[in-house]
Amino acid sequence: MRYLIPGDYMADPAAHVFNGKLYIYPSHDRESGVSENDNGDHFNMKDYHVFSMDDIEGPVTDHGIVLDVKDIPWAGRQLWDSDVACKNGKYYMYFPLKDKTDIFRIGVAVSDRPEGPFLPQDNPIKGSYSIDPAVFEEGGKYYMYFGGLWGGQLQRYRNNKALESAVLPQGGEPALCARIARLSDDMLEFAEEPRDVVLLDENGKALTAGDSKRRFFEASWIHKYNGKYYFSYSTGDTHLLCYATGDNPYGPFIYQGVILTPVVGWTTHHAIVEFKGKWYLFHHDSVPSGGKTWLRSLKVTELVYDDLGAIKTIDGGGDR
Ligand code: FUB
């Protein structure tokens, strides 16, 4: 495993290959002095950098600040995990940010280049909520996965409508799901109502809220390997990166196993990407900051499948 950007704190990597280069779109952690709580107020990030690499072993280029919260017209606070998609030579950055009423929405910013800078739209995506957008393209269609519990506010919604107050299902009740929505042709809005990304156990039963080592918490990612769709995510308070496989982008997905055991730090987050014939896991931990969970550092390691397409579990190095 290699730390990618030793000089600064970066987390929540999205990674994509554009024009033969590997681009990393992380959150930019900083010491803001906000104390730690279950709402994640201590993740008080205010800008994004973009990084690129010609080779996985080679130097990492920092393209500088590409979007700043002060330039986003609808901004309240907290720029969390972003992702970038390319369509017809334009690059679309999707980012979660609390609006002026402290509700997370998902915004879009546009650039002509993968390394930015990105120009934000005046308003967030209509009907968007919660955090952690991840965009997947297939056959010219683009799908956004999103959602996150606790500070990510997903428990405040059912059927895409805000509840009067948050309700977290308990015990044997079905767990809350990540959401998926196809994007409009101009990439700036949802083209449909978001749907649940249903995760099933080996018997075809939906994972329950009490199944905290397997149920979805946050940090959606999706990739395709040997014709199968791999939906991967964090289990949050049990600190695992897990995956489930399905036959199409909407799922349902059947739980398969753990990709990464707990790291040092509370959050775990990742991207999986193929680059020059090998597969890689980008993720973060809090080792360099001495365990401060809001000051995370980016890492990369090779990801290996067995002959049946199962991902070999990687040791995150945490002691939970
Ligand atoms: O970085 C803030 C939040 O922490 C992300 O949005 C989550 O996925 C978790 O990594």
The helix (H) or strand (E) run that includes residue 157 is strand 157-158
Pocket flag, ligand 1, residue 128 (CB < 6 Å): no
What is residue 285's three-state secondary structure?
strand
Q: How many secondary structure helices (H) and strands (E) does the chain include?
A: 0, 23
For the chain, percent of residues with pLDDT exceeding 70: 100
The minimum-distance atom of ligand 1 relative to the CA of 12 is: 10
- What amino acid is encoded at 71 in this protein? D
Over residues 93-116, mean pLDDT? 98
pLDDT (tens digit per residue) in 116-139? 999 999 999 999 999 999 999 999
pLDDT band at 319 (very low <50, low <70, confident <90, very high): confident
Give the CA distances from residue 106 to residues 167, 213, 229, 264, 303, in Å, rounded to whole numbers and listed in that order. 21, 27, 24, 28, 29
27 forms bridges with which residues in the sheet? 11
Q: Which residues contact 140 (CB under 8 A, 6 or more apart)?
A: none
Residues 61, 263, 39: CA angle, nearest 5 degrees: 90
Q: Which residues contact 143 (CB under 8 A, 6 or more apart)?
A: 135, 136, 137, 180, 181, 182, 183, 222, 249, 250
Pocket flag, ligand 1, residue 43 (CB < 6 Å): yes
The minimum-distance atom of ligand 1 relative to the CA of 269 is: 10
pLDDT (tens digit per residue) in 10-61? 999 999 999 999 999 999 999 999 999 999 999 999 999 999 999 999 999 9
Radius of gyration (Cα) for the chain, nearest Å?
Answer: 18
Domains of the chain (ranges, CATH numbers): 2-303 (2.115.10.20)
